[in-house]
Amino acid sequence: MSTQTPPQTTQEPEERRVQLPRALTVKELGDTLGTSAIEVIKELMKNGVMASINQVIDFDTAAIVATDLGFEVEEEAQTAAEEAAPEATTSRRIVDETATTPRPPVVTVLGHVDHGKTSLLDAIRRTKVAEGEAGGITQHIGAYQVDVQGRLITFLDTPGHEAFTSMRARGAQVTDLAILVVAADDGVMPQTVEAINHARAADVAIVVALNKIDAGNANPDRVKQQLLNSGLVLEELGGDVICVPVSARTGEGLDSLLENLLIATEVLELKANPDRAAVGVVIESELDVQRGPIATILVQTGTLRAGDAVVVGQTWGKIKAMFDDRGARVTEAEPSKPVVVMGLQEVPVAGDRLIVAPDERTARAEVSSGRREREADAFRDQRSISLDTLFGEISAGKMKEFNIVLKTDVQGSIEPIRNSLERLTNQQVRVKIIHTGTGPITESDVLLAAASRGMIIGFNSRPDEAARRLADVEKVDIRHYSIIYKLIEDIEAALKGMLEPVFEEIIDGHAEVRQVFKIGRKGNIAGSYVRDGDAPRGSLVRVTRKGEKVFEGRIASLKRFQEDVREVATGFECGIALEGFEEFQEGDVLEFFHSQRVNT
């Protein structure tokens, strides 16, 4: 009886090599690698990335996972529209290797609310914009250009924080120069310091406009010293920051301010290539009843022409018409020129990138197939840093600076905390405090942290309701501390990858005290109206007065019409007694919350 020899195979073991697109979901990556989505999620967590099974991730993140699992990775070929303007899809500031032609600077105005920002812009526009505009009417398009000695300067007539935060968080670096308006009679205010920190975080040069020098109580020397204390060293004091005395009311010093902007521009050596396909950014947009979706576009490089097919964020279109800031119809817009465009399919979002496509068909296909790429770019570029993901980002080499916004209850706490945190800097990452302040955490703090991919630390300081909602939307990590050594321990542990699991605070609702009742020996009862969420019986509660915390404890009793209830919903009134607190005042806000452990 003969035995049959099994056939010999000469086939080499299949190479573990995969091609991955610019973006794909966690599940699709698992299918491509022949493993489960759970394994992919585990590998992502090892690298400090928290993602769900349907989360879209970018190529770089997927490649790290595939490499860790033993695969060689290649990137799939780009689409035609991506090849047409590859640098525009990911960079914050346009980097055009073909740029050789000087372009006008883009300037925005920052400063305290009452120091004359709007008056200064109006004065510049009134004295420098050419006369003979269409119908004598200048249409407001969010940006305009002025002619200074035959050279153009583009001014963004938008809130300064918008130019530095919301738009920058969406990937658009728009501004080249910032005019910091400081009133000579009022001096440096908290919003002035905030504006300085926003400009620094955006890596934007500052020119100081010392406004209201004609005021009777103006004291320029005092203001200059305050600016020095805030970290701005003026040229006359041996620094590199230009300071120009002006009066928006009389027009004094405006010519000197504009000339100094041109001098600052020469140092920056701003250049673009007007001969290539245009790349720009949306400054503002709206749905016009008669003209349909319209958008104000600031061209950053290239020349935008009427008839161009464009991709703008998550929409596309063909430029049917363009208008400049004077309302005149134009056929083309060169670098740094703002124009209103018509012809888009939908209204884009401020900060969306505009890219010229070869034709309408390509533009339509790019929008259809590119939604995932944009999701992946957002996942990569705008994913907020938290203490839980910090070590993974550092280990992967994705992070060289750890940006922190620090808010405290009193000024005296800032320097000890700042010095202790900055000493944690090591060879891999620099701990950088980008803004400090006292009082509640505000929306501006959240926007700055989001735009800088940083986090917020509150030392005996908590966010107001608007800031909390914005932090949820922007996914900004806010950590609260009342003991300095615990704060430093947590940051140090996060930098070393040894952070213990934390408890996350969940807000259940808010109520406003409308009336205070004295009930015999039971003490004071807060007659309250539940503004949002629920008021659960036995809940932890925080009492705040004018934004400051005055008590934190637990609900002792919760009643409606003398009856004990388990909870009270939004829109209903109730009586609340707290354990260990009776000093209610009308207008106090009761914040109901509980804690739950975060699985990291």
Q: What is the pLDDT of residues 187-242, one digit of tens each?
A: 888 888 888 888 887 778 899 999 888 887 888 889 899 998 888 888 888 888 89
Which of 4, 64, 5 is CA-nearest to residue 29? 64
Q: Phi and psi (nearest 5°) for 258? A: -65, -40
Which three-class secondary structure state does DSSP give residue 567? strand
Task: Give the number of C-alpha atoms closer than 13 A to the C-alpha of residue 7, restricted to the C-beta side.
Answer: 3
Of 68, 75, 70, 65, which is closest to residue 19 (Cα–Cα)?
75
| 150 within 8 A of 262, measured Cβ to Cβ | no
Alpha helices in 212-334 (DSSP H): 220-229, 254-268
Note the pLDDT of residue 344. Answer: 93
Structure tokens at 526: 């807060």
DSSP string of 374-394, one letter each residue: HHHHHHHHSPPP-HHHHHHHH
pLDDT of 161 reads 57
Report yes or no: 193 and 232 within 8 Å, Cβ to Cβ: no
Bridge partners (DSSP) listed for residue 281: 298, 353
Which residue matches tokens 């690298």?
47
Identify which of 504, 521, 502 has the alpha carbon closest to the alpha carbon of residue 594. 504
Q: Which domains does the chain have, with CATH numbers?
A: 17-77 (1.10.1660), 104-269 (3.40.50.300), 279-367 (2.40.30.10), 387-500 (3.40.50.10050), 505-597 (2.40.30.10)
Judge whether residue 331 has pLDDT over 90.
Answer: yes
Is residue 416 pLDDT above 60, yes or no?
yes
Strand partners, 574: 528
Tell me if 578 sits within 8 A of 522, measured CB to CB: no
Q: Identify the pLDDT of residue 595.
A: 78
Q: What is the pLDDT of residue 589?
A: 93
Q: Residue 254: which region, alpha, beta or left (left: phi > 0; alpha: psi -120 to 50)?
A: alpha
Segment 428-449 shows an average pLDDT of 87
395 phi and psi, to 5 degrees? -60, -35
User: Which pLDDT belongs to residue 576?
Assistant: 92
Question: CA nearest 377: which of 68, 166, 48, 61?
Answer: 61
Q: How far apart are CA 469 and CA 476, in angstroms?
A: 10
Alpha-carbon span 349 to 314, nearest angstrom: 9
pLDDT tens digits, one per residue of 29-42: 888 888 888 888 88
In this predicted structure, which of 147-156, 373-382, 405-414 has the lowest mean pLDDT? 373-382
Q: Which pLDDT score, from 0 to 100, does residue 334 have?
A: 93
184 phi/psi in degrees, rounded to 5:
-70, -20
Which of 83-92, 398-407, 476-485 has the largest mean confidence?
476-485
CB burial string 326-335: b at 16+ within 10 A, e below: beeebebbbb
In this model, does residue 597 exceed pLDDT 70?
Answer: no
pLDDT in the model for residue 166: 62
Separation between Cα atoms, residue 30 and residue 44, nearest integer Å: 12
Q: What distance in Å separates the CA atoms of residue 322 and residue 319, rounded to the nearest whole number?
A: 7
Q: Is 350 helix (H, G, I), strand (E, B) or coil?
A: coil
CA distances from 530 to 364, 509, 567, 588 (A): 48, 8, 11, 12
Task: For residue 400, report the phi and psi dihedrals to the nearest 5 degrees.
Answer: -110, -20
* Residues 462-508 pLDDT 10s: 888 888 888 887 788 898 898 888 898 888 887 776 555 566 778 88
Measured distance CA(473)–CA(450) in Å, rounded = 10
Binned at pLDDT 50, 70 and 90, residue 513 comes out as: very high
> Rounded mean pLDDT of the chain?
80
Tokens of 352: 């969306």
Q: Which residues of 198-233 are buried (b: 16+ CB within 10 A; e: fewer)?
A: bbbbbebbbbbbbbbbbeeebeeeebbebbeeeebe
- Range 371-397 average pLDDT: 59
User: What single-letter amino acid sits at 158?
Assistant: T
Is the predicted pLDDT of residue 377 greater than 70, yes or no? no
- On whether the CB atoms of residues 282 and 313 are closer than 8 A, the answer is yes
pLDDT at 48 over 70: no
Give the pair of three-digit tokens for residue 311: 């991709």
Identify whether the C-beta of residue 260 lies closer than 8 Å to the C-beta of residue 242: yes
